[in-house]
Structure 1
Amino acid sequence: MAFDEYAEHDALGLAALVAKGEVSPAELVEAAITRVERHNGVLNAVVHKAYDEARATAKGHLPDGPFKGVPFLIKDLGAQVKGWPRTSGSRFAQVAADDADSELVARYRAAGVVLLGKSNTPEFGIPGVTNSDQLGACRNPWNPDHISGGSSGGAASATAAGMVPLAHASDGLGSIRIPAACCGLFGMKITRDRTPICEVVDGALGFSVHHVVSRTVRDSAAMLDATGYPQAGDPFQAPAKDGPYLDEVAKSPGRLRIAWSAETPSGRPIPEEMLAHLLRTVELLKGLGHEVFEKGLGVDYRQLYRAQSLASASNFSANVARWVEKLGREPGEDELGPLARRGYEAGKRLNGQQAFWGFQQLRLMNRQILSAFEDFDVYLTPVMSTPAPRIDWLDPNMADTREFDKRQAATYATTPPANFTGQPSMSVPLWESEEGLPVGMMFTGRFADEATLYRLAGQLEKEQPWKDRRPALWN
């Protein structure tokens, strides 16, 4: 398949060509490898290359799933692939080769994808920027001097550069939506436990979900149809959907009540450029016939994030303690980056009362947030307070972790609450910044209501198409 032709199609489009016999899975794999080799030296999006395995898989028998023959990447965090290494972006918590596929990975294979390799992620997925001593910095195809977001930055960078049409991603505090916004992709953070968690520790708080980033809405919907059903033993299974999400994309959302807000946890206003994009979105929605009005969530963000920090620090420290038990030693001085080291030590200092106060307070405030959605169908904010920052400005490896915290807080303001409540929330790449970087708008739906979001996304994609926008690093 021609180099340029491969990247013109979304995943369902490539699978359709395979089904018609116009291209073979082996040809798709070679096209993907060509693009990885051309662009990865700059982007550092793919950190484990399984080319020989992908070639063998593509030439063998593939399941007749919706994505038969489509090259696909797995994020190097949480998800296990049989025989592949797993680093979690850490020098300490490494596995030389996993013994078996995670259930979610097995479902990806059943959908017909060909696993090509693993994508870059920051250490333990902690920051909203993909950069670690272990795996290095991942860059943005729209401008390699800027971040690709985190923690699914490798998945987003590779997809935006046309290496693959969609890629596995996960979201614990914004890690699907932030990279999607940085790289001009569609990213759906699905309802809690809609797909299988990949590790118990990964989903212990219920914040983290696994899905994909993609260039089209329909690819996201079709993949969730393929993977989004209960796993035996999951104690908190998401409510069943009414029908295929792929069908929802083509349906009219009707006249939705959409609340919007420019509020930030700090109380500081978002920059004028981002406010202008938000107001453009409001006008776009009104033009589509929706009822749109300004209304915040009305929560005490300081209290919300204090509760989350106690719960998260305790959980993270327990996660590292499991690695200590497994490896039989504490992490060496140079085996944890600044953020991971701080989180591990902070968690060890907390007691059970503090940890459970955090859990309890989150539950109480989650009820307050979910109750707000009785007055509207969808909640609109920017995904980020700024377009993707420069890599040298937002560096998680900097020694001054408090300064990094300030810079990250000034960049990311709105994504975490949907992780706390478990609601679906999506990043839609509607606009571009004055510097030509993508700008994503975030739409959060009621609990378990991906259907409404997919209908709205399909409408926005038709009205304000983005698939054919090309980053600077493309050909």
Structure 2
Amino acid sequence: MKISEYTAFDALGLAELVRRREVTPSELMDVASTAIEQVNPALNAVISSLRDDAERAIRAGLPEGPFTGVPYLVKDLGILVAGTPTGMGSRLFQGLVSSADDELMTRFRRAGLVSLGKTNTPELGLNVVTEPAAHGPTRNPWRPDRTPGGSSGGAAAAVAARMVPMAHGNDVAGSIRIPSSCCNLFGLKPTRGRVPTGPIEGEVLMGFATDHVLTRSVRDSAALLDAIAGPDAGAPYFTASGPRSFLEEARSPPGRLRIAFTDASWSGVPVHDECKLAVRRAAALCEQLGHEVVPARPEIAWEKVRIAFRMLLSYHAHMFDRVCPLYGLAAGRGTLEATTLTMAEAGRRMSAVDLHDVLVARDQLARQLGQFFTQFDALLTPTLATLPIPPGTLDADDPTVSAEGWLDRIFEFAAFTPLFNVNGSPAMSVPLHMSADGLPVGVHFAGRYADDATLLRLAGQLEQAAPWDKRRPGICAK
């Protein structure tokens, strides 16, 4: 198979070729490896190889799943791969090797995916761009002088450049949706509790974090969610799926939805004109498709969002003071970036009362948004407050920035996505717009808790009405 043929298919399309025996998993692995070798040097999206693991899996016989034989990449954060270091974008963890797959990796394998490598991520995911000191910056294939976003920036750059048809990501404040917007991809953050987090953690970052995938097609995202959704042993809670598969939902008409829209940020951060234009055009498209589109938004006190995200401070203080010593790891200026240390130090100063404030803010915001979504099926906003920014704009190794100041800085760029990690509802970035100077601009839809199906039906309809996959970046496998 030629690279030009390989890049024409999404993941389900490649899996169908394997099922029909028109191509073998080994052939797909080889062509994907060639694609990575061809474009990764310009992007720095893939930071380590899992080729030996992939070859062993193919020799042993891949399971029959929806993606059997499809090349894949996993993020170097939030997932454990047996026999492989999980560096988490940090110098501190480069030698930490997992003895077993975690549940999510087990489900990726069960779906038939062939993981060829690990993608770049900012240190511990504590940035909305991908520029870790450990591995250097990832570049945007649309414009290498701009960021692909973060924290799943390596995944986004790899998928946009056609190295693989889809790649693993995770999302604490927008880390699937932000890079999807920057790179002309579809990115769904599923509802809290839909994707397993075991066997080590029951609730990652107080429920703010979830895993899924960055894709070029809506159907790939839906089919992978079918493959990984559902509780694992010991899960503290889970979100049950509906009677139809998510893939069936993505292929079904959404009906007439009531969609609220706004282009103003809750924090008061100015919104770029191109991001506002993207929302207006998306609203008009939704109206043309028969939906009721209403200017409205939940009245949210942004200070509560800021309080809720203080959970990052306590979490990293616990990691460095309680978890790292168990592995003989010493956190310090030689192994961690300045803002990581600053945030952990602020976490050490938090009291039990402060931590309770986090939980109260989280639950109050969830109740407010829950009430809003009794009146609307979806809320449309920009994904980001501005266009993809140049590398170096958000320097995580700046010792002069306070913990609260760092959160404020990253939320100037990601002004819309974090809210929906707080309440746990599903949200997605849809690549409907390109700026006048050729940069991707995503629009963001959030929905009611547990109603991923409605968002996927809407996404499938939007993809048919305004297809985006024919657009290709300047740096692209071919």
Would you call these one fold, judging by a TM-score over 0.5? yes
- Give the counterpart letter for 1:221 in structure 2: A
Alignment of 1:88-237 (within 5 A): 88-198=88-198, 199-200=200-201, 203-237=204-238
Q: In the alignment, which residue of structure 1 is the partner of 2:296? A: 295
- Give the counterpart letter for 2:97 in structure 1: A
CA distance in 1, matches of 2:445, 2:361: 25
CA shift in 2, pair 1:25/1:294, >3 Å: same
Q: In the alignment, which residue of structure 1 is the partner of 2:245? A: 244
1:50 to partner: Cα distance: 1.8
User: Is the contact made by 1:77 and 1:89 (CA closer than 8 Å) also made in structure 2?
Assistant: yes
Q: In the alignment, which residue of structure 1 is the partner of 2:27? A: 27
1:304 to partner: Cα distance: 2.5
User: Is the contact made by 1:77 and 1:88 (CA closer than 8 Å) also made in structure 2?
Assistant: yes
User: Is the contact made by 1:265 and 1:302 (CA closer than 8 Å) also made in structure 2?
Assistant: no
Q: In the alignment, which residue of structure 2 is the partner of 1:270? A: 271
1:276 to partner: Cα distance: 1.4
Secondary structure, aligned partner of 1:430: strand
User: Is the contact made by 2:25 and 2:58 (CA closer than 8 Å) also made in structure 1?
Assistant: yes
Q: In the alignment, which residue of structure 1 is the partner of 2:38? A: 38
Secondary structure, aligned partner of 2:249: helix
- Give the counterpart letter for 2:58 in structure 1: A
Verify: 1:49 aligned to 2:49, yes or no.
yes
Secondary structure, aligned partner of 2:145: strand
CA distance in 2, matches of 1:262, 1:338: 34
- Give the counterpart letter for 1:265 in structure 2: W
Q: Deviations over 1:288-327 (max 9, x none)?
A: 110001112101112331x213322112211222333213
CA distance in 2, matches of 1:469, 1:102: 35
User: Is the contact made by 1:263 and 1:296 (CA closer than 8 Å) also made in structure 2?
Assistant: no
Q: Deviations over 1:125-167 (max 9, x none)?
A: 0111111111211111111111111111111111111111011
User: Is the contact made by 1:260 and 1:292 (CA closer than 8 Å) also made in structure 2?
Assistant: yes
1:201 to partner: Cα distance: 7.8
1:390 to partner: Cα distance: 0.9
CA distance in 2, matches of 1:392, 1:349: 29
1:336 to partner: Cα distance: 1.2
Q: In the alignment, which residue of structure 1 is the partner of 2:447? A: 445
CA distance in 2, matches of 1:268, 1:370: 24
User: Is the contact made by 2:250 and 2:457 (CA closer than 8 Å) also made in structure 1?
Assistant: yes
- Give the counterpart letter for 2:219 in structure 1: R
**Could you state the TM-score of these two structures normalised by the residue count of structure 2?**
0.96
**Could you state the TM-score of these two structures normalised by the residue count of structure 1?**
0.96
CA distance in 2, matches of 1:348, 1:82: 32
Alignment of 1:355-394 (within 5 A): 355-394=355-394
Q: In the alignment, which residue of structure 2 is the partner of 1:308? A: 308
CA distance in 1, matches of 2:112, 2:102: 16
User: Is the contact made by 1:130 and 1:153 (CA closer than 8 Å) also made in structure 2?
Assistant: yes
Q: In the alignment, which residue of structure 2 is the partner of 1:408? A: 410
User: Is the contact made by 2:272 and 2:387 (CA closer than 8 Å) also made in structure 1?
Assistant: no
CA shift in 2, pair 1:328/1:58, >3 Å: closer
User: Is the contact made by 1:201 and 1:319 (CA closer than 8 Å) also made in structure 2?
Assistant: no
1:365 to partner: Cα distance: 2.2
1:103 to partner: Cα distance: 0.6
CA distance in 1, matches of 2:370, 2:450: 11
Secondary structure, aligned partner of 1:435: coil
CA distance in 1, matches of 2:60, 2:93: 33
Verify: 1:70 aligned to 2:70, yes or no.
yes
Q: Deviations over 1:426-466 (max 9, x none)?
A: 01000111221111011101101111011000000000001
CA distance in 2, matches of 1:322, 1:25: 43
CA distance in 1, matches of 2:88, 2:146: 22
CA shift in 2, pair 1:201/1:147, >3 Å: farther
1:200 to partner: Cα distance: 1.7
Which piece of structure 1 moves more, 309-318 or 426-435?
Answer: 309-318
CA shift in 2, pair 1:94/1:315, >3 Å: same
CA distance in 2, matches of 1:329, 1:12: 41
CA distance in 2, matches of 1:299, 1:467: 35
CA distance in 2, matches of 1:107, 1:388: 33
CA distance in 1, matches of 2:439, 2:397: 24
CA distance in 2, matches of 1:29, 1:400: 45
CA shift in 2, pair 1:361/1:268, >3 Å: closer
CA distance in 1, matches of 2:408, 2:101: 38
User: Is the contact made by 1:178 and 1:383 (CA closer than 8 Å) also made in structure 2?
Assistant: yes
Q: CA RMSD in A?
A: 1.6
Q: In the alignment, which residue of structure 2 is the partner of 1:339? A: 339
Q: Deviations over 1:154-198 (max 9, x none)?
A: 111111111110111100110000011111100000011211115
Q: Deviations over 1:232-277 (max 9, x none)?
A: 2111111332210101111110110000112213324412222111
CA distance in 2, matches of 1:222, 1:329: 39
Q: Deviations over 1:361-404 (max 9, x none)?
A: 22122211211111100011010011211113233234443676
CA distance in 2, matches of 1:338, 1:202: 27
User: Is the contact made by 2:92 and 2:329 (CA closer than 8 Å) also made in structure 1?
Assistant: no
1:417 to partner: Cα distance: 1.2
CA distance in 2, matches of 1:239, 1:201: 16
1:334 to partner: Cα distance: 1.6
CA distance in 2, matches of 1:450, 1:178: 18
CA distance in 1, matches of 2:398, 2:43: 21
CA shift in 2, pair 1:97/1:330, >3 Å: closer
Secondary structure, aligned partner of 1:144: coil
CA distance in 1, matches of 2:241, 2:28: 34
User: Is the contact made by 1:88 and 1:121 (CA closer than 8 Å) also made in structure 2?
Assistant: yes
Q: In the alignment, which residue of structure 1 is the partner of 2:348? A: 348
Q: Which runs of 5+ in 2 are unaligned?
A: none
- Give the counterpart letter for 1:419 in structure 2: N
CA distance in 2, matches of 1:329, 1:273: 45
Q: In the alignment, which residue of structure 2 is the partner of 1:425? A: 427
CA distance in 2, matches of 1:435, 1:373: 36
CA distance in 1, matches of 2:138, 2:406: 18
Secondary structure, aligned partner of 1:54: helix
Secondary structure, aligned partner of 1:442: strand
CA distance in 2, matches of 1:53, 1:379: 42
